[in-house]
Structure 1
Protein backbone atom coordinates (compact mmCIF):
# COMPACT_ATOMS: atom_id res chain seq x y z
CA UNK A 1 0.00 0.00 0.00
CA UNK A 2 2.43 2.56 -1.28
CA UNK A 3 0.13 5.51 -0.96
CA UNK A 4 -0.11 5.18 2.81
CA UNK A 5 3.61 5.74 3.29
CA UNK A 6 3.02 9.47 3.04
CA UNK A 7 0.90 9.50 6.16
CA UNK A 8 2.46 10.69 9.38
CA UNK A 9 0.96 10.97 12.83
CA UNK A 10 0.86 14.51 14.23
CA UNK A 11 4.00 15.47 16.11
CA UNK A 12 4.38 17.88 18.99
CA UNK A 13 6.11 20.52 16.92
CA UNK A 14 5.24 24.04 15.75
CA UNK A 15 4.83 22.94 12.13
CA UNK A 16 3.25 19.70 11.03
CA UNK A 17 4.50 18.05 7.84
CA UNK A 18 2.15 18.60 4.92
CA UNK A 19 0.58 15.35 3.83
CA UNK A 20 -2.66 14.34 2.21
CA UNK A 21 -2.81 11.51 4.74
CA UNK A 22 -2.18 13.62 7.85
CA UNK A 23 -4.90 13.57 10.48
CA UNK A 24 -7.09 16.65 10.36
CA UNK A 25 -8.17 18.20 13.64
CA UNK A 26 -11.23 19.88 12.09
CA UNK A 27 -12.96 16.73 10.93
CA UNK A 28 -16.69 17.27 11.34
CA UNK A 29 -17.34 13.55 11.48
CA UNK A 30 -15.84 13.09 14.92
CA UNK A 31 -18.37 14.69 17.30
CA UNK A 32 -17.73 12.14 20.04
CA UNK A 33 -14.02 12.90 20.09
CA UNK A 34 -14.68 16.62 19.94
CA UNK A 35 -17.15 16.43 22.80
CA UNK A 36 -14.77 14.39 24.94
CA UNK A 37 -11.76 16.58 24.15
CA UNK A 38 -13.83 19.71 24.85
CA UNK A 39 -14.94 18.26 28.15
CA UNK A 40 -11.36 17.46 29.02
CA UNK A 41 -10.22 20.90 27.87
CA UNK A 42 -12.74 22.43 30.23
CA UNK A 43 -11.12 20.46 33.04
CA UNK A 44 -7.61 21.23 31.78
CA UNK A 45 -6.91 23.84 34.48
CA UNK A 46 -7.56 21.15 37.07
CA UNK A 47 -5.39 18.59 35.31
CA UNK A 48 -2.67 21.10 34.46
CA UNK A 49 -2.54 22.48 37.97
CA UNK A 50 -2.41 18.96 39.28
CA UNK A 51 0.49 18.12 36.95
CA UNK A 52 2.40 21.32 37.70
CA UNK A 53 2.06 20.83 41.42
CA UNK A 54 3.27 17.26 41.18
CA UNK A 55 6.16 18.26 38.93
CA UNK A 56 7.64 20.28 41.78
CA UNK A 57 7.42 17.39 44.23
CA UNK A 58 10.46 15.11 44.63
CA UNK A 59 9.90 11.53 43.53
CA UNK A 60 9.26 9.03 46.31
CA UNK A 61 10.06 5.33 46.49
CA UNK A 62 8.73 3.08 43.74
CA UNK A 63 4.94 3.10 44.09
CA UNK A 64 3.05 -0.06 44.99
CA UNK A 65 0.59 -1.69 42.57
CA UNK A 66 -2.21 -0.41 44.81
CA UNK A 67 -0.93 3.16 44.57
CA UNK A 68 -0.70 2.89 40.79
CA UNK A 69 -4.27 1.61 40.76
CA UNK A 70 -5.44 4.64 42.72
CA UNK A 71 -3.55 6.87 40.30
CA UNK A 72 -5.28 5.23 37.35
CA UNK A 73 -8.63 5.94 38.99
CA UNK A 74 -7.66 9.60 39.30
CA UNK A 75 -6.64 9.78 35.64
CA UNK A 76 -10.07 8.46 34.68
CA UNK A 77 -11.93 10.82 37.00
CA UNK A 78 -10.17 13.99 35.84
CA UNK A 79 -10.71 13.06 32.18
CA UNK A 80 -7.17 12.29 31.07
CA UNK A 81 -7.64 8.61 30.27
CA UNK A 82 -11.01 9.01 28.50
CA UNK A 83 -9.45 11.67 26.28
CA UNK A 84 -6.45 9.47 25.46
CA UNK A 85 -8.76 6.52 24.74
CA UNK A 86 -10.27 8.42 21.81
CA UNK A 87 -7.00 9.21 20.06
CA UNK A 88 -6.19 5.83 18.49
CA UNK A 89 -9.70 5.01 17.17
CA UNK A 90 -9.99 8.51 15.76
CA UNK A 91 -6.64 8.31 13.98
CA UNK A 92 -7.37 4.84 12.62
CA UNK A 93 -10.70 6.03 11.23
CA UNK A 94 -9.12 9.11 9.70
CA UNK A 95 -6.25 7.16 8.19
CA UNK A 96 -8.65 4.65 6.64
CA UNK A 97 -10.79 7.45 5.23
CA UNK A 98 -7.82 9.28 3.74
CA UNK A 99 -6.27 6.20 2.14
CA UNK A 100 -9.56 4.90 0.74
CA UNK A 101 -10.42 8.32 -0.63
CA UNK A 102 -7.30 8.10 -2.80
CA UNK A 103 -7.39 4.34 -3.42
CA UNK A 104 -11.01 3.17 -3.06
CA UNK A 105 -10.17 -0.27 -4.43
CA UNK A 106 -8.13 -0.90 -1.27
CA UNK A 107 -11.05 -0.36 1.10
CA UNK A 108 -11.39 -3.97 2.30
CA UNK A 109 -7.64 -4.55 2.45
CA UNK A 110 -7.06 -1.35 4.40
CA UNK A 111 -9.82 -2.20 6.90
CA UNK A 112 -8.39 -5.68 7.43
CA UNK A 113 -4.85 -4.35 7.78
CA UNK A 114 -5.89 -1.73 10.32
CA UNK A 115 -7.78 -4.35 12.32
CA UNK A 116 -4.60 -6.42 12.35
CA UNK A 117 -2.28 -3.67 13.54
CA UNK A 118 -4.63 -1.92 15.98
CA UNK A 119 -3.76 -4.21 18.94
CA UNK A 120 -0.11 -3.15 18.67
CA UNK A 121 -1.06 0.43 19.32
CA UNK A 122 -3.58 -0.45 22.03
CA UNK A 123 -0.63 -1.96 23.91
CA UNK A 124 1.27 1.30 23.48
CA UNK A 125 -1.68 3.29 24.81
CA UNK A 126 -1.99 1.05 27.86
CA UNK A 127 1.73 1.45 28.51
CA UNK A 128 1.39 5.22 28.24
CA UNK A 129 -1.48 5.32 30.75
CA UNK A 130 0.40 3.00 33.09
CA UNK A 131 3.47 5.24 32.91
CA UNK A 132 1.36 8.32 33.61
CA UNK A 133 -0.25 6.61 36.59
CA UNK A 134 3.13 5.44 37.86
CA UNK A 135 4.55 8.96 37.56
CA UNK A 136 1.59 10.32 39.49
CA UNK A 137 1.82 7.65 42.19
CA UNK A 138 5.54 8.32 42.43
CA UNK A 139 4.88 11.88 43.60
CA UNK A 140 2.63 11.03 46.56
CA UNK A 141 2.50 8.57 49.40
CA UNK A 142 0.14 5.64 48.98
CA UNK A 143 -2.20 7.07 51.61
CA UNK A 144 -2.21 10.49 49.96
CA UNK A 145 -3.04 9.12 46.54
CA UNK A 146 -5.64 6.79 48.04
CA UNK A 147 -7.29 9.76 49.74
CA UNK A 148 -7.17 11.74 46.49
CA UNK A 149 -8.79 8.93 44.53
CA UNK A 150 -11.43 8.56 47.23
CA UNK A 151 -12.22 12.26 46.98
CA UNK A 152 -12.67 12.19 43.20
CA UNK A 153 -14.80 9.06 43.50
CA UNK A 154 -16.99 10.60 46.20
CA UNK A 155 -20.19 12.54 45.42
CA UNK A 156 -18.44 15.73 46.50
CA UNK A 157 -15.45 15.01 44.27
CA UNK A 158 -17.62 14.27 41.26
CA UNK A 159 -19.59 17.44 41.87
CA UNK A 160 -16.34 19.40 42.16
CA UNK A 161 -15.14 18.07 38.79
CA UNK A 162 -18.43 19.08 37.17
CA UNK A 163 -18.38 22.49 38.83
CA UNK A 164 -14.77 23.06 37.85
CA UNK A 165 -15.51 22.20 34.22
CA UNK A 166 -18.52 24.53 34.13
CA UNK A 167 -16.55 27.29 35.81
CA UNK A 168 -13.71 26.92 33.31
CA UNK A 169 -16.17 27.38 30.45
CA UNK A 170 -17.65 30.47 32.10
CA UNK A 171 -14.21 31.93 32.77
CA UNK A 172 -13.20 31.35 29.14
CA UNK A 173 -16.28 33.31 28.11
CA UNK A 174 -15.19 36.20 30.32
CA UNK A 175 -11.52 36.12 29.40
CA UNK A 176 -12.06 36.54 25.64
CA UNK A 177 -13.77 39.96 25.78
CA UNK A 178 -11.46 41.11 28.57
CA UNK A 179 -8.41 40.18 26.52
CA UNK A 180 -9.73 42.20 23.59
CA UNK A 181 -10.34 45.22 25.80
CA UNK A 182 -6.97 44.75 27.45
CA UNK A 183 -5.05 45.13 24.19
CA UNK A 184 -6.63 48.55 23.66
CA UNK A 185 -6.66 49.70 27.27
CA UNK A 186 -2.99 48.88 27.82
CA UNK A 187 -1.99 50.89 24.78
CA UNK A 188 -4.14 53.84 25.83
CA UNK A 189 -2.77 53.84 29.37
CA UNK A 190 0.81 53.58 28.12
CA UNK A 191 0.28 56.62 25.93
CA UNK A 192 -1.27 58.53 28.84
CA UNK A 193 1.68 57.81 31.10
CA UNK A 194 4.22 58.74 28.44
CA UNK A 195 2.27 61.91 27.65
CA UNK A 196 2.75 63.03 31.27
CA UNK A 197 6.48 63.00 30.55
CA UNK A 198 6.12 64.82 27.25
CA UNK A 199 6.62 61.67 25.21
CA UNK A 200 4.49 60.11 22.53
CA UNK A 201 4.55 57.40 19.90
Structure 2
Protein backbone atom coordinates (compact mmCIF):
# COMPACT_ATOMS: atom_id res chain seq x y z
CA UNK A 1 0.00 0.00 0.00
CA UNK A 2 1.36 3.36 -0.96
CA UNK A 3 1.28 5.72 2.00
CA UNK A 4 2.26 9.02 0.55
CA UNK A 5 0.91 12.44 1.27
CA UNK A 6 1.45 15.77 -0.40
CA UNK A 7 4.21 16.37 2.10
CA UNK A 8 5.94 13.19 1.06
CA UNK A 9 5.65 14.09 -2.58
CA UNK A 10 7.17 17.48 -1.95
CA UNK A 11 9.78 16.03 0.33
CA UNK A 12 10.77 13.36 -2.16
CA UNK A 13 11.29 16.01 -4.82
CA UNK A 14 13.40 18.05 -2.40
CA UNK A 15 15.35 14.96 -1.40
CA UNK A 16 15.96 14.03 -5.02
CA UNK A 17 17.25 17.52 -5.68
CA UNK A 18 19.43 17.38 -2.60
CA UNK A 19 20.98 14.09 -3.70
CA UNK A 20 21.44 15.05 -7.32
CA UNK A 21 24.88 16.22 -8.40
CA UNK A 22 25.34 19.98 -8.32
CA UNK A 23 27.36 21.74 -10.99
CA UNK A 24 30.51 23.43 -9.79
CA UNK A 25 29.76 26.89 -8.50
CA UNK A 26 26.05 26.15 -8.10
CA UNK A 27 24.41 28.49 -5.65
CA UNK A 28 23.69 26.75 -2.36
CA UNK A 29 20.55 27.51 -0.35
CA UNK A 30 21.03 29.47 2.86
CA UNK A 31 21.61 27.33 5.96
CA UNK A 32 18.53 26.34 7.92
CA UNK A 33 17.67 28.30 11.04
CA UNK A 34 19.06 26.68 14.19
CA UNK A 35 16.60 24.48 16.02
CA UNK A 36 15.75 25.00 19.65
CA UNK A 37 16.17 22.10 22.08
CA UNK A 38 13.05 19.96 22.45
CA UNK A 39 11.94 17.54 25.12
CA UNK A 40 12.38 13.80 24.65
CA UNK A 41 8.59 13.40 24.71
CA UNK A 42 8.18 16.00 21.93
CA UNK A 43 10.83 14.17 19.89
CA UNK A 44 8.96 10.91 20.39
CA UNK A 45 5.69 12.54 19.38
CA UNK A 46 7.37 13.83 16.21
CA UNK A 47 8.88 10.40 15.47
CA UNK A 48 5.45 8.81 15.95
CA UNK A 49 3.87 11.26 13.50
CA UNK A 50 6.54 10.68 10.89
CA UNK A 51 6.21 6.92 11.31
CA UNK A 52 2.44 7.03 10.87
CA UNK A 53 2.91 9.14 7.73
CA UNK A 54 5.45 6.63 6.36
CA UNK A 55 8.09 9.31 5.83
CA UNK A 56 10.92 6.81 6.13
CA UNK A 57 9.86 5.40 2.75
CA UNK A 58 11.05 8.62 1.15
CA UNK A 59 14.64 8.34 2.28
CA UNK A 60 14.90 4.55 2.67
CA UNK A 61 17.05 4.26 -0.47
CA UNK A 62 19.08 7.43 0.03
CA UNK A 63 22.36 5.68 0.79
CA UNK A 64 22.20 3.09 -2.02
CA UNK A 65 21.23 5.86 -4.46
CA UNK A 66 24.10 8.12 -3.38
CA UNK A 67 26.58 5.22 -3.55
CA UNK A 68 25.29 4.28 -7.02
CA UNK A 69 25.60 7.88 -8.20
CA UNK A 70 29.18 8.11 -6.94
CA UNK A 71 30.07 4.78 -8.55
CA UNK A 72 28.52 5.88 -11.85
CA UNK A 73 30.53 9.12 -11.79
CA UNK A 74 33.79 7.21 -11.33
CA UNK A 75 32.78 4.57 -13.87
CA UNK A 76 32.14 7.20 -16.55
CA UNK A 77 35.87 7.97 -16.71
CA UNK A 78 37.24 4.62 -15.57
CA UNK A 79 35.43 1.83 -17.45
CA UNK A 80 38.25 -0.61 -16.86
CA UNK A 81 37.67 -0.33 -13.09
CA UNK A 82 34.07 -1.58 -13.23
CA UNK A 83 34.67 -4.78 -11.24
CA UNK A 84 36.58 -2.92 -8.53
CA UNK A 85 34.08 -0.07 -8.40
CA UNK A 86 31.21 -2.57 -8.01
CA UNK A 87 33.04 -4.21 -5.10
CA UNK A 88 33.85 -0.87 -3.49
CA UNK A 89 30.23 0.26 -3.90
CA UNK A 90 29.02 -2.73 -1.87
CA UNK A 91 31.65 -2.07 0.77
CA UNK A 92 30.84 1.64 1.03
CA UNK A 93 27.08 0.95 1.16
CA UNK A 94 27.65 -1.45 4.06
CA UNK A 95 29.88 1.07 5.85
CA UNK A 96 27.33 3.85 5.49
CA UNK A 97 24.25 1.69 6.17
CA UNK A 98 21.98 3.20 8.79
CA UNK A 99 23.12 6.78 8.34
CA UNK A 100 19.82 7.51 6.61
CA UNK A 101 18.27 7.40 10.10
CA UNK A 102 19.90 10.83 10.60
CA UNK A 103 17.36 12.19 8.13
CA UNK A 104 14.46 10.91 10.22
CA UNK A 105 15.93 12.25 13.44
CA UNK A 106 16.51 15.69 11.96
CA UNK A 107 13.01 15.72 10.51
CA UNK A 108 11.65 14.81 13.95
CA UNK A 109 13.61 17.72 15.46
CA UNK A 110 12.21 20.06 12.82
CA UNK A 111 8.65 18.89 13.45
CA UNK A 112 9.15 19.13 17.21
CA UNK A 113 10.26 22.74 16.65
CA UNK A 114 7.40 23.58 14.33
CA UNK A 115 4.56 21.97 16.31
CA UNK A 116 3.77 21.62 19.97
CA UNK A 117 3.88 18.18 21.50
CA UNK A 118 0.09 18.15 21.70
CA UNK A 119 -0.26 19.17 18.07
CA UNK A 120 2.06 16.32 17.08
CA UNK A 121 -0.04 13.88 19.10
CA UNK A 122 -3.24 15.26 17.55
CA UNK A 123 -1.78 14.94 14.05
CA UNK A 124 -0.69 11.37 14.78
CA UNK A 125 -4.19 10.55 16.01
CA UNK A 126 -5.63 12.09 12.85
CA UNK A 127 -3.37 10.07 10.53
CA UNK A 128 -4.33 6.90 12.44
CA UNK A 129 -8.05 7.71 12.02
CA UNK A 130 -10.05 6.36 9.08
CA UNK A 131 -10.06 9.80 7.46
CA UNK A 132 -6.31 10.19 7.97
CA UNK A 133 -5.69 6.78 6.45
CA UNK A 134 -7.95 7.64 3.52
CA UNK A 135 -6.03 10.88 3.04
CA UNK A 136 -2.75 9.00 2.87
CA UNK A 137 -4.18 6.51 0.39
CA UNK A 138 -6.10 8.96 -1.79
CA UNK A 139 -3.89 12.04 -1.75
CA UNK A 140 -1.27 10.72 -4.20
CA UNK A 141 -4.05 10.11 -6.74
CA UNK A 142 -5.53 13.55 -6.05
CA UNK A 143 -2.13 15.18 -6.47
CA UNK A 144 -1.48 13.26 -9.67
CA UNK A 145 -4.87 14.25 -11.10
CA UNK A 146 -4.28 17.86 -10.06
CA UNK A 147 -0.87 17.91 -11.71
CA UNK A 148 -2.34 16.42 -14.89
CA UNK A 149 -5.05 19.09 -14.91
CA UNK A 150 -2.50 21.88 -14.32
CA UNK A 151 -0.33 20.61 -17.18
CA UNK A 152 -3.31 20.39 -19.56
CA UNK A 153 -4.54 23.82 -18.44
CA UNK A 154 -1.09 25.37 -18.94
CA UNK A 155 -0.75 23.79 -22.38
CA UNK A 156 -4.18 25.05 -23.48
CA UNK A 157 -3.50 28.54 -22.12
CA UNK A 158 -0.09 28.54 -23.76
CA UNK A 159 -1.68 27.77 -27.15
CA UNK A 160 -4.20 30.58 -26.61
CA UNK A 161 -1.44 33.03 -25.71
CA UNK A 162 0.71 31.99 -28.69
CA UNK A 163 -2.30 32.52 -30.97
CA UNK A 164 -2.91 35.97 -29.43
CA UNK A 165 0.73 36.89 -30.09
CA UNK A 166 0.44 35.71 -33.70
CA UNK A 167 -2.82 37.60 -34.26
CA UNK A 168 -1.51 40.83 -32.77
CA UNK A 169 1.79 40.64 -34.64
CA UNK A 170 -0.08 39.89 -37.89
CA UNK A 171 -2.17 43.06 -37.34
CA UNK A 172 1.11 44.93 -37.07
CA UNK A 173 2.33 43.50 -40.35
CA UNK A 174 4.93 41.32 -38.67
CA UNK A 175 3.64 37.75 -38.89
CA UNK A 176 5.29 35.19 -36.66
CA UNK A 177 6.32 31.77 -37.96
TM-score (norm 1): 0.56
Asked if the contact 2:67/2:92 (under 8 Å) is kept, the reply is yes
Asked if the contact 2:46/2:109 (under 8 Å) is kept, the reply is yes
Asked if the contact 1:72/1:130 (under 8 Å) is kept, the reply is yes
Alpha-carbon distance between aligned partners in 1 of 2:143 and 2:149, rounded to the nearest angstrom: 10
1:90 aligns with 2:52: no
Alpha-carbon distance between aligned partners in 2 of 1:139 and 1:199, rounded to the nearest angstrom: 56
Say which of 106, 129, 133 aligns to 2:84. 106
1:177 aligns with 2:139: no
| Structure-2 change in CA distance of 1:108 and 1:134 (3 Å) | closer
Asked if the contact 2:8/2:58 (under 8 Å) is kept, the reply is no
Structure 2 unaligned blocks of 5 or more: 12-33
How far has the Cα of 1:148 moved from its partner? Answer: 0.4
1:133 matched to which residue of 2? 108
Q: Superposition pairs for residues 1-201 of structure 1, below 5 Å?
A: 40=4, 43-44=5-6, 62-96=37-71, 99=75, 102-106=80-84, 109-111=87-89, 113-119=91-97, 122-123=98-99, 125-188=100-163
1:15 matched to which residue of 2? none
| Structure-2 change in CA distance of 1:65 and 1:177 (3 Å) | same
How far has the Cα of 1:156 moved from its partner? Answer: 1.9
How far has the Cα of 1:145 moved from its partner? Answer: 0.9
Asked if the contact 2:59/2:103 (under 8 Å) is kept, the reply is no
1:14-45 per-position Cα deviation (integer Å, ceiling 9, x unaligned): xxxxxxxxxxxxxxxxxxxxxx8xx75xx336
SS at match of 2:114: coil
| Structure-2 change in CA distance of 1:170 and 1:114 (3 Å) | same
Alpha-carbon distance between aligned partners in 2 of 1:68 and 1:174, rounded to the nearest angstrom: 39
Alpha-carbon distance between aligned partners in 2 of 1:83 and 1:45, rounded to the nearest angstrom: 10
Q: State the structure with bigger RCO (CA 8 A, min sep 6), 1 or 2.
A: 2
Alpha-carbon distance between aligned partners in 2 of 1:115 and 1:169, rounded to the nearest angstrom: 33
Asked if the contact 1:70/1:145 (under 8 Å) is kept, the reply is yes
